[in-house]
Amino acid sequence: MDRLIAGYRTFRGGRWQAEHERYTELATHGQKPETLVIACSDSRSDPAAIFDASPGELFVIRNIAAIVPPLEIDGAHHGTSAAIAFAVLVLNVRNILVMGHAQCSGVAAALDGNIGDDVPFLRSWIDLLKPAVERTDHSANETHRTASLERETVLLSMERLMNYPFVAERVQAGELEINGARFGIADGKLEVFDRTIAAFKAI
């Protein structure tokens, strides 16, 4: 906790001072982010840092492997789905970016099945990647196989978003776009999915 308190003091004396008018404005008038980012919880893959975002710019959902779960209408507690609904229907975001990353442990676990059964909830969450595993290029070596699944995971989440009726309606009305990307932790490169060539392209 000491590290967090020290970091807060640095923030309060630095960035908050520099941006306090923006914080006041956001507190008075509420947030109006244009972008929802769905990213991995991995500590190395922070959307606000990668996109140099200011307070109020990004509405962010982070979970293991940046997975959009299937649409399930039941009485269970769907944290990711609830946040997607809030971002689209209440905040009226114009863009959803699904961002995976290199060296994703969640994605690797889907390939090697190496998931501790003593960790609650994890296996059924990682099992959501099965359709992406089936599409992965298994002929490649391990590094390329994992990278392939990291990209397929992003595409699967993008597809599942379109199964949410309120997302599909806004996309079809031209009010919302869905994008995908993969962040390279070691080299800092960002690949963005390019629909015109149906492939990820480094920018």
Where would I find the H helices in 30-141? 47-50, 79-85, 105-112, 122-126, 130-135
**Interaction of residue 84 with Zn ion, rule CB under 5 A:** no
Q: Kindly state the tokens that stand for 35.
A: 């972008």
42 binds Zn ion (CB under 5 A): yes
Residues in the interface with Zn ion (CB under 5 A) total 4
For Zn ion, the closer of residues 87 and 126 by Cβ is: 126
Measured between alpha carbons, how far is residue 179 from residues 4, 9, 55, 176, 194 in Å?
Answer: 33, 36, 21, 10, 9
Is 40 among the residues that bind Zn ion (CB under 5 A)? Answer: yes
CB of 97 to Zn ion, least distance (A): 15
Q: Is 191 in the site for Zn ion (CB under 5 A)?
A: no
Among residues 57 and 150, whose Cβ is nearest to Zn ion? Answer: 150
Least distance from Zn ion to the Cβ atom of residue 167, Å: 23
Shortest distance in whole angstroms from residue 80 CB to Zn ion:
14
CB of 102 to Zn ion, least distance (A): 9
CB 166 within 8 A of CB 96: no
Minimum CB separation from Zn ion for residue 92, in Å? 28
How far apart, in whole angstroms, are the C-alpha atoms of residue 188 and residue 127?
Answer: 28
Contact 34, 94 (CB under 8 A): yes
Residue with Cβ nearer Zn ion (63 or 179): 63
Contacts (CB under 5 A) with Zn ion, residues 136-175: none
Edge-to-edge strand list for the sheet holding 95-101:
58-63, 35-40, 95-101, 177-183, 190-194, 199-202
In the DSSP assignment, the letter for residue 102 is T
Q: Which stretch binds Zn ion (CB under 5 A): 10-18, 33-41, 84-92, 154-162?
A: 33-41
104 counts as binding Zn ion under rule CB under 5 A: yes
Rg (CA), the chain: 18
For Zn ion, the closer of residues 40 and 181 by Cβ is 40
**Contacts with Zn ion, residue ranges (CB under 5 A):** 40, 42, 104, 106
